[in-house]
């Protein structure tokens, strides 16, 4: 290959490579993030999802455009039930990946419980508020509660070429969530009443002693120069 050919090849490579496609990360589009009706295993879940389809899209839109540091996991937004609990109680669920830098401060929290507490305080409470915002879902007698699942990279969790994620799931009935968000019960009471699951990679941890504190990050932080593409969501 001559010098000119090599030069042209390099320039073309730069031009093509600069496009940055296809994305392998990023939030799932609504059609993938929202659980498809045919995926529900019971009529109860399917009916709720069909009834509240516009609300599910709205929740996804708000998270996608107003919380760009969160990615809704594929097939996670809808009316699910927690594994291991008897019956078919349906929770309005959202499962997000939290995109963040592992700062020394975060890594320095030291334990899975502290990291989970920090993540739930920062992102979980805000998401619960978004889920509970719809009066129709709140009033619907078949909806049992709300659940938020957060997932993030574990500091010092890298093994070879693989990172390890930590996952926290919090499930609570509607009245508990309502009371907590309205400050009628304390964070400690909320935690006591909630079902909490946590994982280190694929390994299930015991019930974490979750603490919840005030964190206004979600409502005050705006990435530099970021503008929501869909202005109608009203971030």
Partner 1 sequence: MRTWITRALLLGGIMLVASACATSEEWGEWGKHPTHFASGGHATFSVRNTEGSAPRVSRSEIDRARAEEWWGKVVTVSAEQIIQQ
Residue 94: cis peptide before it, omega within 30 degrees of 0: no
User: To the nearest whole angstrom, how small is the minimum distance from the Cβ of residue 80 to partner 1?
Assistant: 4
Q: Which is nearer to partner 1, 214 or 227 (CB)?
A: 227
Which of residues 6 and 188 has its CB atom nearest to partner 1 in the complex?
Answer: 6
Residues 207, 195: Cα–Cα separation, whole Å? 9
Residue 28 tokens, joined: 């799932």
Rounded least distance, CB 169 to partner 1, Å: 5
Nearer to partner 1, 103 or 156 (CB): 103
Closest CA to 46 of 57, 56, 36, 55: 36
| Contact (Cβ atoms closer than 8 angstroms) between residue 121 and residue 113 | no
CA distances from 63 to 48, 55, 66 (A): 20, 12, 5
Residue closer to partner 1, measured from CB, 45 or 124: 45
Among residues 35 and 113, whose Cβ is nearest to partner 1? Answer: 35
In the complex, what is the shortest distance from the CB of residue 215 to partner 1, in angstroms, rounded to a whole number? 10
The most distant pair of C-alpha atoms in the chain lies apart, rounded to whole Å, by 76
Contact between 97 and 119 (Cβ < 8 Å): no
Q: Minimal distance in Å, beta carbon 9 to partner 1?
A: 10
* Cβ 218 vs Cβ 123: under 8 Å: yes
Please give the structure tokens belonging to residue 154: 């574990």
Question: How do 143-153 and 90-98 pair as beta strands?
Answer: parallel
Pick between residue 73 and residue 193 the one whose CB is nearest to partner 1.
73
Closest CB to partner 1 among residues 100, 178: 100
Rounded to an integer, what distance in angstroms lies between the CA atom of residue 219 and that of residue 214?
A: 12
Which helix (DSSP H) or strand (DSSP E) does residue 136 occupy?
Answer: helix 135-139
Shortest distance, position 197 Cβ to partner 1, whole Å: 6
Query: Is 70:98 a contact under the CB 8 Å cutoff?
Result: yes
Q: State in angstroms the smallest separation of the CB of 159 from partner 1.
A: 8
Please state the closest distance from residue 183 (CB atom) to partner 1, in A: 25
Phi, psi of 201 (to 5 degrees): 65, -120
């Amino acid at each position: 290959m001559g010098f000119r050919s090599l030069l042209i090849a390099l320039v073309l490579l730069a031009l093509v490579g600069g496009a940055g496609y296809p994305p392998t990360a990023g939030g799932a589009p609504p059609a993938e993030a929202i659980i498809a009706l045919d995926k529900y295993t019971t009529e109860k879940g399917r009916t709720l999802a069909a009834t509240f389809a516009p609300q599910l899209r709205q929740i996804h839109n708000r998270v996608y455009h107003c919380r760009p540091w969160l990615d809704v996991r594929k097939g996670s937004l809808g009316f699910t039930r927690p594994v291991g609990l008897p019956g078919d109680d349906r929770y309005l669920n959202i499962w997000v990946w939290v995109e963040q830098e592992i700062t020394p401060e975060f890594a320095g929290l030291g334990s899975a419980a502290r990291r989970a507490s920090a993540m739930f305080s920062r992102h979980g409470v805000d998401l619960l508020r978004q889920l509970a915002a719809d009066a129709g879902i709140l009033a619907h007698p078949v909806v049992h509660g709300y659940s938020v699942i957060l997932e993030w990279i574990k500091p010092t969790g890298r093994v070879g070429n693989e990172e390890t994620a930590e996952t926290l799931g919090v499930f609570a009935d509607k009245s508990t969530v309502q009371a907590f968000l309205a400050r009628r019960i304390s964070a400690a009471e909320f935690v006591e009443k909630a079902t909490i699951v946590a994982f280190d990679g694929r390994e299930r941890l015991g019930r974490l002693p979750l603490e919840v504190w005030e964190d206004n990050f979600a409502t005050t932080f705006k990435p530099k120069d970021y503008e929501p593409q869909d202005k109608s969501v009203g971030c």
